[in-house]
Amino acid sequence: MAIKLYNTLTRKKDIFKPIINGHIGIYTCGPTVYSYAHIGNLRTYIFNDILKRVFLYNGYKIKHVMNMTDVDDKTIKGSKKENIRLKELTSKYEKIFLEDLDDLNIIKPNIISRATEHINEMIELIKVLLKKGYAYKADDGIYFSVSKFKDYGKLAKLEKAKIGKSRIKNDEYDKESIQDFALWKFWTEGDGDVFWDTDIGKGRPGWHIECSAMSMKYLGNTFDIHTGAIDLMFPHHTNEIAQSEAATGKKFVNYWVHGGFLTMKDGKMSKSLGNVYRLNNLKEKGYSPLDYRYLTLTTHYRSPLIFSFDNLDNAKNSLQRLKNIIGETKDDGKKDEKYLKEFENAINDDLDMPNALAILWKLLRDEKAQGKIKTIEKMDKVFGLDLLLKEKFEIPSEVQKLVDEREDARRKKDFKKSDELRDKIKNLGYKIDDTKDGVKVSKTN
């Protein structure tokens, strides 16, 4: 069945056609590992995971590459601030990032490529650009000449008139400053011990060249899908296209798929506003990472999502309710093809997960439907919400003690005490049911 994806290059939903039948190559801009990933970053990686799972569901084989930006302006600044070596800083945050992915049921990339381990590939690419006349040497680095690449503005739909003649050394800049950008930055004192002594000069790479070199190394000069959040469209992805296509003379990427931003009620998440949350902060407040995953699936991946704890509470309750209903549903070993078809239509229509969730709820509420469990099992391959996993909850020792005391009271036929103990247990958020197999303890919602 055809998969439609919104392609930023064409600004419409395109029917996906792979370069090699049944296979896709995906490149995702990974995190800049100078600090913790926040839940906004993680929204982007969940969307990316859904994209992969939809292709897996459709029977594709995936080669997924994600980079770790472990050298750039921000990482160097970070290592100075924490007064540790660059590698020490980036390894620490890379490890925490990968743990977050695990917690969120995000399937790991096949290849994780660190920028610092691909300096040679970047240098080779810069040499090609120098040779072809797209790059030039200035006193503080080697720059890409934006005006030489005629399609420079095609992804971000930039106006030609705006393209300036000056240079910019910083990795990040806004649309008002379309200038020649740095491919290689010559060493300055501020870089400390972060440099590579190479035949194009002593220095370090710019951020943009990292992704061009690593994606083409693993996926070829032209590959299927490149992802990131929408903020990367300019300058990062615009510059990736310019560098890669100038060097190879071939189309770099067929489908550019960008996710929407996660914002807070008061606008951007920013350290100065004190509203930046990590996954761990949510866990400390009693939410499970999958509550957050559920929340992100309730909004289409391209739409902005405004985060609030009210929304997260709703997501948590919905997920809990889903699991409760599923827990009470019998597995009759069948599948419901009608619902699966509806589900496939939704996920293949530019990953419409809010609609896919609505179909799941409809299935559960449909008293006539059969084959619910096996159908949900298949759907959950895409949702990744562990819908069929029985909750592994541990009874806290204080609750277990009260349960034992109550059993004892019941044996002694002291029903007054037994009821009092039941109330105490209830106040702690647990409920007990006396079944023929013995007493069952569960959490109240």
Binding site for ligand AMP (CB under 6 A): 29, 31-32, 40-41, 43-44, 228-229, 231-232, 261-262, 269
CB of 115 to ligand AMP, least distance (A): 12
3-state secondary structure of 248: helix
Nearer to ligand AMP, 236 or 372 (CB): 236
CA angle 139, 145, 148 (to 5 degrees): 150
Look-up of token digits 């240098």 = 123
Find the shortest distance in angstroms from Cβ 428 to Zn ion.
Answer: 49
- Cα separation, 409 vs 421, in Å, equals 9
213 binds Zn ion (CB under 5 A): no
Select the binding partner of residue 211 from Zn ion, ligand AMP, none (C-beta < 5 to 8 A, by kind).
Zn ion
The reply to whether 219 sits near Zn ion by the rule CB under 5 A is no
Cβ closest to ligand AMP, residue 25 vs residue 31: 31
Q: Which is nearer to ligand AMP, 231 or 377 (CB)?
A: 231
Residue pointed to by tokens 């990686």: 45
Closest CA to 163 of 237, 241, 234, 256: 234
State which of residues 68, 211, 315, 403 lies at the interface with Zn ion (CB under 5 A): 211
* Partner in contact with 43, chosen from ligand AMP, Zn ion, none, beta carbon below 5 to 8 Å by kind: ligand AMP
The total of other beta-carbon atoms located within 10 Å of residue 214's CB is: 24
**Least CB distance to ligand AMP at residue 136 (A):** 27
Name the E strands within 43-124: 61-68, 111-114
Q: Residues near 404 by Cβ (< 8 Å), separated by ≥ 6?
A: none
Specify the residue, 44 or 254, whose C-beta has the smaller distance to ligand AMP: 44
31 binds, among ligand AMP, Zn ion, none (CB under 5 to 8 A by kind): ligand AMP
Chain residues 14-43 in contact with Zn ion, contact rule CB under 5 A? 29
CB of 102 to ligand AMP, least distance (A): 17
Q: Which is nearer to Zn ion, 5 or 29 (CB)?
A: 29
Q: Distance (Å, rounded) from C-alpha 292 to C-alpha 277?
A: 12
CB 364 within 8 A of CB 355: no
Residue 333 is given by DSSP the state S
Closest CB to Zn ion among residues 182, 211? 211
Distance in Å, CB of 64 to ligand AMP, minimum: 14
Spatial separation of the C-alpha atoms in residues 10 and 188, rounded to whole Å: 41
Considering the complex, state which of residue 94 and residue 124 has its C-beta at the smaller distance from ligand AMP: 94
- Residue 222 CB, shortest distance to ligand AMP, in Å, is 22
User: Encoding tokens for residue 103?
Assistant: 């917690």
Least Å from the CB of residue 422 to ligand AMP: 46
**CB nearest ligand AMP: which residue?**
40
- What is the DSSP track for 86-146? HHHHHHHHHHHHHHHHHHTTPPPPSEEEEGGG-HHHHHHHHHHHHHTTSEEE-SSEEEE-G
Closer residue to ligand AMP (CB): 228 or 371: 228
Taking the complex as a whole, how short is the minimal distance between the CB of residue 31 and ligand AMP, in angstroms? 4
Q: Is residue 48 a contact partner of residue 28, using CB atoms and an 8 Å limit?
A: yes
Give the Å distances, CA to CA, from 299 to 50, 349, 353, 364.
13, 14, 7, 21
Binding site for Zn ion (CB under 5 A): 29, 211
